[in-house]
Structure formats: structure tokens, C-alpha cells
């Protein structure tokens, strides 16, 4: 039985969570300063209030004045949904619609009031009396500063998170690091900063999001890039746009579902560094071509296959689609790097101009020079390598891929099949 979920309304996040946050659960958002934790939390509660739900935002690390000053520039920040001021009780009827209530429990306010130890009790009372549907505590790390020794902190946090799970209120906690809260939370989303390598240029800074766990439902794995825009957090899917035009299948179970097809008129390159999978993968793709009614031509040297490719370019195939398989290792070994690259370039031009499909590949021994050049020229790139007896397959580049995470590749009854890692 599927658990009821709360849609975050954040672009791309619900799909990664497996449909949304399980209703009534606790989600931990972890990340360094500047990674967008507060933006994500604010975006979430305003989206819920817009749907008619009641939300409470407890700020423990930043003055509400500062939050309002900067967050009010975001498109989702709606002043009409803010029904209360700081520390003002609200007991309106349910029919009055959704709202966002802010409560300032930041460092300066806490020190002035001297009641840090009571925060969990106060939050619980507010959630119950105000009939709150969604709670955000930003951040739990700041509260930990006031909760005594480690044993006392663990005890109070365990009690609070146990209450949150029983209350039916969907809760988001933010944190700057690890701690007992990672063990107690029902779900974890990590926000990180990284550097994306670029060919011939310095690495580019980027932000990445990873769903570590969501109890009770399947979720996406791996890191996904995201931006912080005026509209809030925007998770970028690996593929771009929708597949338009006729596409071919690779004939490899699991791979086709992920890449969503190889467009005719494009080029794909396979680095197959696991020797046991070279022939099965190429055979599978050739069989799929034949089943689809496409012609197949294999180019391994200047005299093997190139003449047929030239005939295709001359229009002698009566409009039939062809798939050209180029063994870059044999091509480079038999013709030398310069001549091999020239032959590959002719095949690439043919595929793009005439709407055919070019599939190049290298095994574990040859084609090191051409492999890098083919990667740069291809629309899609797939890597296969041996890892301690396992064969791993990863989509390195693809215009419509659903994920770039590695898979386990297995050879079963002569068929290559992919499974989750």
C-alpha cells in the first residue's frame, strides 16, 4: 500500500523523493551555509499555505527581519499568506484558509528571553493549538547549542522527533552537518557544493542535491544539479526537453528505459572496458537494428564497411535507414590514428546528413586516442568497466537520460541486463 504523500511543489524534487514527502514524516535538509536550505524550506511552506494548509516556520539561526528582507524578493513569497507576527497566537477557524506563521527563536531572541530549554515544548504546543499541518525548524543545529551535554541533547531530540512522527504534522528540519538527527529522520536530502569538470577549461562551481533516504517509498538515487532562482529551488533533470523525431532502441534491457532512445541522425559512443561485454553489447544492438528493419554496416578498416557507407552517401539504399557500427580499436590499429579519425569523420557526416545512426565503440585494449575524440563528437556516451568482478554501466552523456547513476550490468543467457547498483 502506497503512503499518502505531500507534494512539495518544488520543481523536480517530488520526482526525486518518489512522489513527495510521506505525510506526517520528518524530512532533514542538510547542507553548508549558502546551499539553499532556508529557501527550500520557505518555498515548501508557502506552497502548502497556497493549497489551504497551515504552516509554522521556526527560525532559530536568523532574525525574521533578515529572512523577510531577502526572501520577499522570491516569487513564491506571498505577504497575503502571512497571517501572524512574531510570537503572536492565532486561533482562527479552519475555514479561513491556509497561512504561514513565523516564530523568531534566533540566537539574539533566545539569549534575551533565557528560555532555550523550552523550545521543543513550545513548538509542540503551537503545533497542537494552532492545528499546524506543516512545521519547519530552521535549523536544528542552532537548538543543539542550548541543550546541555550530548546525552541530554540526544534524549530531547529523540523525544521531539518521536512526537513529530506521532503528531501527523509533516516536518522539515534543516541542519548544517551530521548528528543523531540523521538517524532519527524519516527522510534525508543533502545539499552540496561541487566543481563540475569541463574539457579544456577550469572546473565550474555548481550545487547538487541528493535524496539519501525516504522511509516507506522508493526514491531516486544519485546527485542532481539545482539552481536557486527568483522562483526558488529548481532541480535540473539530466535530460533536456522531450524526445522529438524517430528514435532507435539499443536493445539492452534497462538502458533503453533510461536513455529514452537514440535519435536517427545522431552519434553514440560506447567505452566498453569490460572485455566480456564487448561482443554481447554490440550483438544486442545489431540484433535490435535488424528487428527494426534497419540496415547494418560494420566499419573496422578502410576496406571493410567504408565502401557500403560511401554507397549510402551516394543514395544507393532506396531510403532505408542504416546503423553504422564503428570498432574504433580495430580501425585505429589497422589504419593509424589519423586515417582512422578521417574515416570516423566521414561516417559521422553521413549519419547526420542522411538521418542514419552512428554507433562507435572501443574495447579495453585499443582506441584510446579515438575514444576521447568520439566522446566529444557524440550525442550520447556510455561507459562500461569492471569493478572487482562486477560490470558497471553508466550513462556519461545523453540528451534525454532519466539518470546518470551507474548500473550493474549482468550477462544472463547471452543477454545483457541492467540492474540498480
Least confident range of 19-28, 71-80, 195-204, 364-373: 195-204
Q: Pick the residue with more confidence: 314 or 21? A: 21
Per-residue pLDDT of 227-245, as tens digits, reads 999 999 998 876 655 555 6
Per-residue pLDDT of 125-173, as tens digits, reads 889 888 999 999 998 887 766 666 677 777 888 888 888 878 889 999 9
Instruction: Determine the pLDDT at residue 166.
Output: 83
Per-residue pLDDT of 321-338, as tens digits, reads 899 999 998 888 888 888
310: left (phi over 0), alpha (psi -120 to 50) or beta: alpha
Q: What number is the average pLDDT over the span 239-267?
A: 82
Instruction: Determine the pLDDT at residue 9.
Output: 93
Q: Taking the alpha carbons of 11, 13, 19, 23 in that order, is the dihedral positive or negative?
A: negative
CATH 3.40.50.300 corresponds to the domain 247-420: yes
Instruction: Determine the pLDDT at residue 111.
Output: 47
Query: For residue 101, what is its C-alpha cell?
Result: 506563521
17: helix, strand or coil: helix
Q: Is the pLDDT of residue 87 over 50?
A: no
Instruction: Determine the pLDDT at residue 148.
Output: 63
Q: Is the pLDDT of residue 16 over 70?
A: yes
> What is the overall mean pLDDT for the chain?
83
Q: Which residues touch 72 (CB under 8 Å, ≥6 apart)?
A: 79
Residue with cell 556519461: 396
Domain residue spans of the chain:
5-235, 247-420
CATH 1.10.10.10 corresponds to the domain 5-235: no
Instruction: Determine the pLDDT at residue 91.
Output: 42
Could you give the CA distance from residue 340 to residue 338 in angstroms, rounded to a whole number? 5
Instruction: Determine the pLDDT at residue 160.
Output: 85
The answer to whether 215 and 22 have CB atoms below 8 angstroms apart is yes
Amino acid at each position: 500500500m502506497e503512503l499518502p504523500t505531500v507534494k512539495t511543489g518544488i520543481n523536480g524534487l517530488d520526482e526525486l523523493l518518489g512522489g513527495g514527502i510521506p505525510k506526517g514524516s520528518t524530512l532533514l535538509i542538510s547542507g553548508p551555509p549558502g546551499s539553499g536550505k532556508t529557501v527550500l524550506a520557505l518555498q515548501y511552506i508557502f506552497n502548502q499555505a497556497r493549497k489551504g494548509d497551515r504552516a509554522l516556520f521556526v527560525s532559530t539561526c536568523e532574525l525574521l527581519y533578515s529572512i523577510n528582507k531577502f526572501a520577499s524578493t522570491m516569487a513564491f513569497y506571498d505577504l497575503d499568506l502571512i497571517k501572524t507576527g512574531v510570537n503572536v497566537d492565532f486561533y482562527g477557524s479552519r475555514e479561513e484558509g491556509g497561512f504561514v506563521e513565523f516564530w523568531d527563536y534566533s540566537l539574539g531572541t533566545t539569549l534575551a528571553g533565557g528560555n532555550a530549554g523550552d523550545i521543543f515544548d513550545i513548538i509542540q504546543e503551537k503545533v497542537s493549538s494552532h492545528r499546524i499541518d506543516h512545521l519547519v525548524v530552521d535549523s536544528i543545529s542552532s537548538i543543539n547549542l542550548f541543550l546541555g551535554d550530548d546525552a541530554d541533547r540526544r534524549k530531547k531530540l529523540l523525544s521531539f522527533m518521536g512526537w513529530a512522527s506521532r503528531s501527523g504534522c509533516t516536518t522539515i528540519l534543516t541542519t548544517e552537518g551530521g548528528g543523531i538527527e540523521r538517524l532519527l529522520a524519516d527522510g534525508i536530502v543533502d545539499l552540496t557544493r561541487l566543481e563540475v569538470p569541463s574539457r579544456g577549461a577550469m572546473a565550474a562551481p555548481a550545487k547538487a542535491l541528493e535524496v539519501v533516504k525516504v522511509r516507506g517509498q522508493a526514491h531516486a538515487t544519485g546527485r542532481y544539479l539545482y539552481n536557486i532562482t527568483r522562483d526558488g529551488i529548481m532541480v535540473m533533470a539530466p535530460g533536456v526537453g522531450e524526445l522529438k523525431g524517430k528514435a532507435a532502441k539499443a536493445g539492452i534491457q534497462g538502458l533503453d528505459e533510461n536513455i529514452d532512445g537514440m535519435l536517427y541522425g545522431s552519434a553514440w559512443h560506447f567505452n566498453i572496458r569490460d572485455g566480456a561485454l564487448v561482443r554481447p553489447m554490440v550483438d544486442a544492438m545489431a540484433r535490435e537494428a535488424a528487428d527494426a528493419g534497419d540496415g547494418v554496416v560494420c566499419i573496422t578498416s578502410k576496406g571493410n564497411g567504408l565502401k557500403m557507407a560511401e554507397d549510402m552517401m551516394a543514395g544507393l539504399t532506396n531510403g532505408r535507414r542504416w546503423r553504422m557500427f564503428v570498432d574504433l580499436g580495430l580501425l585505429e590499429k589497422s589504419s593509424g590514428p589519423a586515417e582512422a579519425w578521417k574515416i570516423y569523420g566521414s561516417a559521422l557526416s553521413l549519419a547526420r546528413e542522411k538521418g542514419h545512426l552512428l554507433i562507435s565503440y572501443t574495447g579495453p585494449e585499443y582506441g584510446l586516442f579515438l575514444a576521447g575524440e568520439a566522446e566529444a563528437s557524440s550525442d550520447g556516451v556510455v561507459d562500461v568497466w569492471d569493478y572487482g568482478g562486477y560490470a558497471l554501466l553508466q550513462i556519461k552523456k545523453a540528451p534525454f537520460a532519466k539518470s546518470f547513476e551507474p548500473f550493474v550490468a549482468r550477462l544472463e543467457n547471452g543477454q545483457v541486463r541492467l540492474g540498480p547498483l
